[in-house]
């Protein structure tokens, strides 16, 4: 179930963690390919993980349960 506008649930945080891990892996792969060696820049990996997770959480916080950004919940008729 999607969380309502200006609220979060446990699934939002789990998805945020998944996004953080995924973007960190992609960043690691990109920087490794770019430099030609497998380098672990922990500061870059941590910054990427934190910013991507926060962006995802903020997006979910500002989205209602129907997926509309910056919109309050609408009552269904019926």
Terminal-to-terminal C-alpha distance of the chain: 20
Instruction: Please give the model's pTM, rounded to 2 decimal places.
Output: 0.79
Q: What is the pLDDT along the chain (78 residues), one digit of tens a residue?
A: 788 888 889 999 999 999 999 999 999 999 999 999 988 889 999 999 999 999 999 999 999 888 888 888 887 665
pLDDT at 78: 56
Give Cα 61 to chain centroid, integer Å. Answer: 11
The two tokens of residue 18 are 């998944």
Residue 15 CA neighbour count, 13 Å, CB half: 15
pLDDT at 58: 94
């Amino acid at each position: 179930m999607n969380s309502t506008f200006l609220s979060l649930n446990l699934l939002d945080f789990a998805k945020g963690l998944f996004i953080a891990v995924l973007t960190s892996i992609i960043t690691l792969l990109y920087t490794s390919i770019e430099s030609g060696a497998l380098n672990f820049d922990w500061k870059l990996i941590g910054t990427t993980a934190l910013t991507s997770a926060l962006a995802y959480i903020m997006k979910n916080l500002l989205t209602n349960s129907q997926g509309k950004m910056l919109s309050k919940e609408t009552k269904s008729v019926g």
